[in-house]
Amino acid sequence: MNTTHAGQALIFDSGVGGLSVAAEIRKRLPNLQMSYAADDIFRPYGAKTEAQLKARLPRLLWELTETVQPDLVVIACNTASTTALSDIRAALDIPVIGVVPAIKPAAAASRTKTIAVLGTPGTVERRYVDDLINDFASDCRVILQGSVNLVDIAEKKLAGEPVDLDWVRTEISPMFNGRNGADIDAVVLACTHFPLLREELKASVTQSVQWIDSGDAIARRVETVLKGVSLKQPQDRPDTALLVGPETSPARIKTFNDFGFERVVALMG
Ligand code: DGL
C-alpha cells in the first residue's frame, strides 16, 4: 500500500449497524478518513437467502468502491460476512475485512460454559457459525437465537424513535427461558446492529450476562492492514455516508452526523 496519500476506509452494512463498528474504528484511529455505505433498500439482510446476498453484494461493493476509492473495505455486517465474504473479496482488488462473530472470546469468558449467539436468522443458521462453534466453543453449550425485529428496533432507535423494552424482551426471552437458558452468562452480539441496543438488552434481563461484540477486534484489524499508510484526514473531504435508497429522514441524517459522517447522500439503489 503506498504512503503518499491519506488512507480511507469504506464501512459497509445493510443499515446503521456498521456504525457500532465505525465508532470502534474511530476510537482507535481518530484521523482515519472514513466513508460509510448503508444498503437501506435491501435491508433486512437477515431475512434474505444466501443466493440473494451472493447475487447482490459483490457487484454493489464493486460499484461503491469505484465511487469512493477507499484503501480497504470493512464489511461491518455479520450476515453479509458469514454469507458472501469470499465472493466480495473476489470482486475487489483491495483488502476486505469481514466480521467474525465473537464466539471465541465469549466461550473463553463464560464460567458456566453456556453461551448464546444472538444474530439475524440468516447468520445463526450459517455453516460458518457452526464451524466457529466447533473450533472455539466445543466445551460450551451454545444456544442460537435469530431475530429480525431487533435490527428494526435498532434502526428505529437511531432514527430518534423511542424503544419499548418489551419489544427487546420479546426477542431475547426465548433464549433465556428455554433449555439451559438460566445458565447463559455470555451472549455473542452476532449482528452489528445489536451493540447499538446494549443498554436496552442489559435492562431486559435479570441474570448477569456479558454482551460481547467484535467491534474492537475489527478496529485492531483495520489498524494492522493500514500500517504504514498516512492517516491525515483531508480538510476538504468530510466523512460521507452513502445511503442506498431513495431518501432518508432528518433524524437519521443527524445520527450519521453524530457518528462523524458530516455529509449524508442518498443514492438510488
Ligand atoms: N447488521 C447486520 C448484521 O450484522 C444485519 C442486519 C440486517 O438483517 O440487515 O448481521
At 193-248, the pLDDT tens digits run: 999 999 999 999 999 999 999 999 999 999 999 998 878 777 778 999 999 987 77
264: Cβ contacts below 8 Å, ≥ 6 apart: 240, 241, 243, 248, 252, 253, 256, 257
122 CA to centre of ligand 1 in angstroms: 9
Q: Is 58 near ligand 1, meaning CB less than 6 Å away?
A: no
Please tell us whether the domain made up of 103-212 is placed in CATH 3.40.50.620. Answer: no
pLDDT less than 50: residues of the chain: 2-3
Specify whether the CB–CB gap between 29 and 222 falls below 8 A.
Answer: yes
| C-alpha cell, 26 | 474511530
Asked if 146 contacts 120 with a C-beta cutoff of 8 angstroms, the reply is: yes
Q: For residues 202, 204, 209 and 212, what is the CA-based torsion angle, rounded to 10 degrees?
A: -50
HSE (side-chain half, CA atoms, 13 Å) at 220: 4
- What is the structure's pLDDT at 3? 46
The full set of domain ranges for the chain reads 8-99+216-267, 103-212
- The sign of the CA dihedral 107, 110, 115, 117 is negative
Cα 185 off chain centre by: 22
Per CATH, domain 8-99+216-267 is 3.40.50.1860: yes
Its sign, for the CA torsion 193, 88, 214, 222, is negative
What residue type is assigned to position 21 of the chain? V
The SS3 call for residue 39 is coil
pLDDT at 269: 58
* pLDDT at 229 (0 to 100): 83
Q: What is the pLDDT of residue 215?
A: 97
Measured CA distances, 266 to 66, 183, 255 (Å): 17, 45, 14
Give the model's pLDDT for residue 2.
46
Place of cell 455470555: 186
Helix spans in the chain (H)? 18-28, 50-68, 78-91, 103-109, 121-124, 127-136, 149-158, 165-177, 198-203, 215-225, 250-258
Task: Give the Cα separation of 21 and 99 in Å (integer).
Answer: 9
Concerning whether 191 is annotated as a catalytic residue, the answer is yes
Rounded Cα–Cα distance for residues 100 and 80 (Å):
11
- Cα distances from 86 to residues 41, 50, 57, in angstroms, run 23, 13, 11
Answer yes or no: is the C-beta of 101 below 6 A from any ligand 1 atom: no
Is residue 65 lining ligand 1, measured as CB closer than 6 Å? no
Fold agreement (8-99+216-267, 103-212): yes
Nearest-CA residue for ligand 1 atom 2 is: 77
Residue type, 126: R
Q: For the chain, what is the mean pLDDT?
A: 94
How much is the pLDDT for 59? 97
User: What's 238's DSSP letter?
Assistant: -
Amino acid 4: pLDDT:
56
Residue 77 a catalytic site member: yes
Exactly one of 76, 118, 191, 253 is catalytic; which is it?
191
Nearest Cα neighbor of 41 from 69, 70, 15, 76 is 15
